[in-house]
Structure 1
Amino acid sequence: AGVVSSVLATTLLFWLVQRREAGRVTPYLLATPVVSMAIGWGLMGDVLTPQILTGSAIAMGGVVLVALAERGLRAGAAKA
């Protein structure tokens, strides 16, 4: 599972970088722990505790914050 997910993630990353700027794609790598948790829960039957869910929410909040900040910087640069 680890090898397959690593190959799939790397392939997806290269595919995205070919179509978008690297700076726009790489913040989504921060979602890796959340995706791993979801795969563990969905396919392996892992138990989701409140601590895991809280950590996932914080991680995704960070991804959203970085993506929005990057979008704001782009909008500001385009106006200048």
Structure 2
Amino acid sequence: MNQLNNITIKHCPCHSGKSYEQCCRLFHLDFYQAQTAEDLMRSRFTAFAIGSMNSENQKFFEQYLLQDLASENETGRDATGYFH
């Protein structure tokens, strides 16, 4: 993944109580893999929240959200979440 541009957030949107740089950013930049479902969902929520308000990095966060979805053959859905 690419580096994130111009993101300065004091508190991580996942409400962990940590700064974004010490929390979900580490997952977004692939420094760490989520070890629990809670970590994964927090990082995904944060990607959605930041991607929604930061158009410069929107594609980066879209890729993060799509990277771990099951293939459409496994779910019957395409990458947008719609059933075929």
TM-score range, shorter chain: 0.3 to 0.5
Query: TM-score by structure 1 length?
Result: 0.34
Higher radius of gyration, 1 or 2: 1
